[in-house]
Amino acid sequence: MVTDTPRPRRAVVTGASSGIGAATVRRLRADGWQVVATARRADRLQELARETGAEAFPADVTDAADVARLVEHVASSGGLTAVVNNAGGALGLDPVASADVEQWRRMYEVNVLGTLRVTQGLLPLLRESGAGDVVVVTSTAAHGPYEGGAGYTGAKHAERMLSTTLRWELAGAPVRVIEIAPGAVATEEFSLVRFGGDAQRAAAVYAGYQPLVAEDVAEAIASTLSRPPHVNVDLLMVRPRAQVSNTKIARTQP
């Protein structure tokens, strides 16, 4: 008796050159997924590819032509089961009255429009798979404000609404939409980039408690993707135990 061989699970992970993205590539590869790792920094992607066996595809999610190349490549090389929209980031921590408009524009471009471009391009392939997944890594910033964070929380709220609305619009389609909203995650670059390379200020964000690490979020992503196709984890919010809200963290020192 001849039976159909299941198609291999294949994922695109954006923002894969460091932090949560790189950890997600490692975790999915360990779980047997084929992975296309994409980000702007080709050297880091190649290193990750050598380590994990993932495929490196350098691309900038804020560049429509780059995203089109990515979609064409994925479509012509085996299709797709999941996309993990992880590319994003925060810039600055300034009050609204003195915020840098260009920083706000850049945050919206990568967090929101980058996710939109990638999702729009890959959605037909996910439909064709018969059991596709759109994962969007937002933040607890997508679920509540904090002083100085209006630019980032605004972009993440918009990304959250993109995800929620897409889920409604895909009702009945063989595609799940999953939002992962991490709290404080100590990665090598997030806070350092936010504070323009100020290492002391970046380190202070994680002082006096145990923050999440990138692997914690990667595990959450992999877990939601491993659920049976009829199970949709609409939202998974994951914080360090010490962080009870965006503005309250139990620290062991001032």
Residue 252 falls within a domain, yes or no? no
| CATH number of the domain bearing residue 57 | 3.40.50.720
- Burial class of 237 by CB neighbour count within 10 A (0 to 12, 13 to 18, 19+): middle
Look up residue 6 and give its DSSP letter. P
Question: What's the rounded Cα separation, in Å, for the pair 193 and 215?
Answer: 20
Is the per-residue pLDDT at 1 higher than 50? Answer: no
Number of other residues whose CB lies within 10 A of the CB of residue 241: 9
Residue 100 falls within a domain, yes or no? yes
What is the pTM (predicted TM-score) of this model? Answer: 0.94
Strand 55-56: give its sheet, edge to edge. Answer: 55-56, 34-38, 10-14, 82-85, 132-137, 175-182, 235-238
Is the per-residue pLDDT at 7 higher than 70? Answer: no
What is the four-CA torsion angle of 123, 126, 127, 130, rounded to 10 degrees? -170
Residue 246 falls within a domain, yes or no? no
Is the per-residue pLDDT at 185 higher than 80? Answer: yes
152 belongs to the catalytic site: yes
Residue 226 falls within a domain, yes or no? yes
pLDDT 10s digits, 157-175 = 999 999 999 999 999 999 9
Looking at every residue in the chain, the average pLDDT score rounds to 94
Q: Residues 108, 146, 152, 209: which is the catalytic one? A: 152
What is the extent of the structural domain holding 173? Answer: 10-238
Instruction: Give the bridge partners for 205, in sequence order.
Output: none
Residue 187 falls within a domain, yes or no? yes
What is the percent of the chain where pLDDT is above 90?
A: 88
End-to-end CA separation in angstroms for the chain: 68
pLDDT 10s digits, 31-50 = 999 999 999 999 999 999 99
Our count of domains for the chain comes to 1
